Amino acid sequence: MKIEHNSFGHITIDGKKYSSDVIIYPENVDASWWRKEGHNLHIEDLAGVVEAKPEVVIIGKGSFGVMRVRKEIISFLESKGIAVYAERTGKAVELFNELQKEKTVVAALYLTC
């Protein structure tokens, strides 16, 4: 998978355009990602991510970094042996495109705020 374009509220992955928050797995894109509480990430929001057992999870916190990722979530993922990056979505996209060349990576990307 390759993210070809990202802007506020929009993303293009392998030629397909999305205008909703997404989780990018190695084999598919979940364009129906909806969080329990919009600007606050909860561990249950990442249940499918944990089940996928990636080496790395990249969390895009929005264009302006508004989505809050509590330390407990990062600690939980790390306890499962998953490296975690939580960045503004633009930086998260760059990390995804780089790291997925060498590792199994899942990206959960909040596309607005």
Confidence at residue 6, expressed as pLDDT on a 0 to 100 scale: 97
Confidence at residue 38, expressed as pLDDT on a 0 to 100 scale: 83
Confidence at residue 16, expressed as pLDDT on a 0 to 100 scale: 98
- 9 close to 19: Cβ distance less than 8 angstroms: yes
- Mean pLDDT for the chain? 97
Domains of the chain, residue spans: 3-110
Q: What secondary structure letter does DSSP report for 45?
A: G
The arrangement of strands across the sheet holding 105-110 comes to 29-30, 22-24, 105-110, 56-61, 83-87
pLDDT for 42-95, tens place per residue? Answer: 999 999 999 999 999 999 999 999 999 999 999 999 999 999 999 999 999 999
Q: Which fold has domain 3-110?
A: Hypothetical Protein Mth938; Chain: A, (3.40.1230)
Closest listed residue to residue 93, CA positions, set 28, 31, 8, 32: 8
pLDDT for 17-32, tens place per residue? Answer: 999 999 999 999 999 9
